[in-house]
Structure 1
Amino acid sequence: MFKNKPAAGKINPDATDTLIGEGTTFEGKLRTEASIRIEGTIIGDIVSSGDVIIGENGRANSNVSARDLVLAGQLNGDVEVRGKLTICATGVLNGNIAAQSLIIESGGVFNGSSKMPVSKASVTPVESQKELKASS
């Protein structure tokens, strides 16, 4: 009847175990090891080891730190994702972002500045050769 709980400290960041439902307002800092879906309103920072999904009816006045972010609603605040930020056709983001990958669907709105950190995998062969010559 009940699912076995994972061992202490072994929370799956791929599991969405938290939902802020439509008609719900949460105020305060939210920290989660798993993924979260927001269909209501949240006021306060969101820190997730997993993904953050803000649905079409979701509203957040928050700074967000997560693995990935999918935005179909409205977000007012800065975003830092270790992976991909997707702004859907119905999404509106007012704030600055730092992300490895950024996708804005047609109709999506982004007002702010973006920064994409350089990873070693994205260094081109020409840049690698320059680094090798410089270190010789």
Structure 2
Amino acid sequence: MRSNKKQKTTMESTSQQNIIAHGTKIVGDIESKGPFRIDGTVEGTVKTDGKVVIGKAGSIVGTLEAVNVDIEGKFSGKLSLKGTLSLKSSAQIDGEVQVNKLAVEPGATFNATCSMGAVKTLASDAGEGKNQKGQSA
């Protein structure tokens, strides 16, 4: 019985969502393999292999690297996604966006340079920045 209980607990912990609650401010870098819901404020870099949801009261200022992101709140900085960026009507985006797919609801504010297609990690983009600029010119 104990081994079954431990296995269940392990499975639950890997599927749990990380939550940054309203009124919480984090300054620094966050790295995780699991999904995030941000209703507070993050200033820094957020890297995850999961999905990120920025709630209406949530905001990120900095860099976000994830698979999929849903934004209802604010984002300012560099955003790099392997999957889909979904902007809800209350979303406010400023900065640089690199995504595979983009979905925007009417009313969202999108003030960003955007490139779409297969997304590489930010680290590999930095090394190839000169080549990309040369190709787009």
What amino acid is aligned across from residue 70 of structure 1 in structure 2? D
Could you tell me which runs of 5 or more consecutive residues in structure 1 were left unpaired when the two chains were aligned.
120-136
Greater percentage in strand: 2
AA aligned opposite 1:53: V
The match for 1:27 is 27
Q: Which runs of 4+ in 1 moved over 4 A?
A: none
Distance 1:106 1:16, change over 3 A: farther
Larger radius of gyration: 1
- TM-score by length of structure 1 reads 0.77
Residue matched to 1:95? 95
In structure 1, the partner of 2:57 is 57
- Secondary structure of 1:78's match? strand
Write out aligned runs for 1:1-136 (5 A): 3-6=8-11, 12=14, 15-117=15-117
8 Å Cα contact 1:83-1:101 kept in structure 2: yes
TM-score, normalised via structure 2 length: 0.76
Computed over aligned residues only, the root mean square deviation of the Cα atoms, in angstroms, reads 1.9
- For the Cα contact (< 8 Å) 2:67–2:83, is it kept in 1? yes
The percentage of counterpart residues that share the same residue type is: 24
Contact 1:16/1:36 (8 A) holds in 2: no
In proportion to residue count, which structure has more helix? 2
Gaps of 5+ in 2: 120-137
